[in-house]
Chains A and B, each alone.
Chain A
């Protein structure tokens, strides 16, 4: 799997003219773990959704290049897009309460992509779904398969989401704030699970979050976005050596348990951060 994005622009027509949200993002990735970090409104989620062309209907997209292997995403037919979405690339969203179908059991939801993408029979898919639930380390997967989303805890719901996304054997997994709504103890478990599955299956991972320390913990490389642009791309191991004052600011702003400070540094946002270099 090779993903190539060059000069991606996404904007929305509005009452006060065209509002750009993503302004010239470029990157390429293969089977690696890439983090995209930024504050709300930085364009990180829109960028990831553009890969699956799952941007809102009124969004205007243009790019010099937006390719998923040999598929040109911008000109792809619905059929070709269907081959990417859920099959070659899976998307995990923040809140399983909204992302899961409330009137289908966990097992049915994991079985659906198995039938759709792999052509398994209803019965075989059901058995495979239980196996998938076991893979995302759900205890007693056969019982959980019969539960509805409202009967699952947040962490369990997110595991079901991951199982569903992995069912199609994707080459790329996009996790958009996939653990932000979860408790710290569960968050770490889910991220370790994702990391482990991605490494074992040789998949690519795009981890999108507002939490820079968290992302750098689980990724090889991090893109830092600000006002619709990538302001810095750094190897996760060298994050502390990052040069951009915005990246530095994101690292220094949060309070620290071990290094207490009477006052926290705040970001002095510079207009040129938003300018195209």
Chain B
């Protein structure tokens, strides 16, 4: 569904992504884990078409993508960001924000779709005409997810979708993402610094460090400690330390 081949991204003199490759099959989830500055979000933004300055190949459904994406691409691929407060329009109601992607893509039945999207994202119907500041952090992230899904995309790009949330709310959002993936056969590409979060949703993982994907492995291999790169081992050890309370 998504393929990345020898992707390189440069900001001035700094090479943020240094020739990485991976592929995500339809209906699969691939997780990229790494620390700040490892280049993980930069990869996601290039795939989303938010950064047109890259070299290498990005394939979608087997087709190489040009840096400038056609509108039809955004109907099929959507992104959810870390901070729903920053990604939602502060002066638009939930209703307005959910209607916008439908209007852009010329999709009919706006009213029924909004009602269904709210329900699917676990949001009460009474929240439809609220503004973002009237919602809790978890509710805002549910709105961002509802908005990403309202035009029926096939792929969700998730950039630290639960990092700004309390752990109890994180659990709710992770459950929601798992349910939605099953119900809609979505393809996920998830980026996070939290190894446990990534392994919860993704059976396949790529570990990034300093712009390189230093290791790709299955969750089973990671759990069993079948690891080749020291950075993967270090991230695993730190995650385990906090689990042994």
Chain A interfacial positions (CB closer than 8 Å to B)? 39-40, 154, 183-185, 188, 210-214, 216-217, 239-240, 249-251, 253-260, 262-267
Are A258 and B240 within 8 A (Cβ)? yes
A45 to chain B, nearest CB (A): 14
Write the nearest CB–CB distance from B123 to chain A, whole angstroms: 15
CB < 8 Å neighbour of B245 from A184, A249, A251, A260? A251
Cross-chain contact of B174 among A184, A210, A255 (Cβ < 8 A): A255
Chain A CB within 8 A of B199 CB = yes
Whether B171 lies near A239 (C-beta < 8 A) is no
Residues of chain B within 8 A of A255, CB atoms compared: 171, 174, 196-197, 199-200
How far in angstroms is the closest Cβ of chain B from A228?
15
Contact B137 A40 (CB under 8 A): yes
Question: Hey, which bits of chain B sit against chain A, CB under 8 A?
Answer: 35-36, 137, 166-168, 170-172, 174-175, 178, 193, 195-197, 199-200, 219, 222-223, 234-236, 238-243, 245
Given contacts A188-B241, A217-B245, contact A210 B35 (CB under 8 A): no
Residues of B within 8 A of A188 (CB): 238, 241
Chain B, interface SS category: helix
Nearest-CB residue, chain B, relative to A42: B166
How many residue pairs at the A-B interface have CB separations less than 8 Å?
Answer: 87
Q: Which of A184, A211, A214, A217 has the most CB of B within 10 A?
A: A184
Asked if A254 contacts B170 (CB within 8 A), the reply is yes
Compute how far the CA of A212 lies from the CA of B199 in the bound complex, rounded to whole angstroms.
20
Query: Inside 8 A of B195's CB, which chain A residues have their CB?
Result: 257
Q: Which of B137, B171, B236 is A266 in contact with, Cβ under 8 Å?
A: B171
The 8 Å CB contact of A217, one of B197, B199, B241, is B241
Cβ A257 vs Cβ B167 within 8 A: no
Complex: how many Å from CA A40 to CA B240? 25
A82 to B91, CA, bound (A): 43
Can you list 24 A-B contacts with CB-CB less than 8 angstroms, sorted by A residue number? A39-B168, A184-B35, A184-B235, A185-B35, A185-B235, A210-B167, A211-B242, A217-B242, A239-B245, A250-B167, A251-B245, A253-B167, A253-B171, A254-B171, A255-B197, A256-B243, A257-B195, A257-B223, A257-B240, A257-B243, A258-B240, A266-B168, A266-B171, A266-B175
Contacts of A40 in B (CB 8 A): 137, 166
CB contact under 8 A between A213 and B243, given known A40-B137, A255-B174, A264-B200: yes
Q: Is the CB of B137 within 8 A of A260?
A: no
**Given A263-B178, A266-B168, do A183 and B239 touch, yes or no (CB 8 Å)?**
no
User: Bound complex: CA of A109 vs CA of B129, how far in Å?
Assistant: 49
Interface centre among A185, A239, A251 (most CB of B within 10 A): A185
| Chain A CB within 10 Å, residue with most, of B195, B200, B219 | B200
Contact residues in A for B219 (Cβ distance below 8 Å): 260
* Alpha-carbon separation in the docked complex, A250 to B193 (Å): 20
Chain A proximity of B213: nearest CB distance (Å): 17
Cα A269 to Cα B171 with chains together (Å): 14
Please name the residue on chain A nearest to B35 by beta carbon.
Answer: A183
The chain A residue with its CB closest to the CB of B242 is A213
A209 to chain B, nearest CB (A): 11
Contact partner, A267, options B137, B168, B235, Cβ 8 Å: B168
Q: Select from chain A the residue with minimum beta-carbon distance to B162.
A: A255
Chain B residues lying within 8 Å of A250, measured Cβ to Cβ, are: 167-168
- Are A210 and B166 closer than 8 Å at their CB atoms? yes
Q: Which residues of A contact B193 (CB under 8 A)?
A: 183-184
Closest to A186 in B: B35
Q: How far is the CA of A211 from the CA of B168 in the complex (A)?
A: 11
**How distant is B164 from chain A, measured CB to nearest CB, in Å?**
9
Residues of A within 8 A of B178 (CB): 262-263
Nearest A-chain residue to B235, judged by Cβ: A184
Query: Distance (Å) between the CB of B168 and the closest chain A CB?
Result: 4
Report chain A residues within 8 Å CB of B200: 255, 260, 264
Q: How far apart are A151's CB and chain B's nearest CB, in angstroms?
A: 15
A257 engages B166 (CB within 8 Å): no
Pairs A-B, 9 closest by C-beta atoms: A255-B200, A264-B171, A183-B35, A39-B166, A267-B168, A253-B171, A255-B196, A253-B167, A213-B242
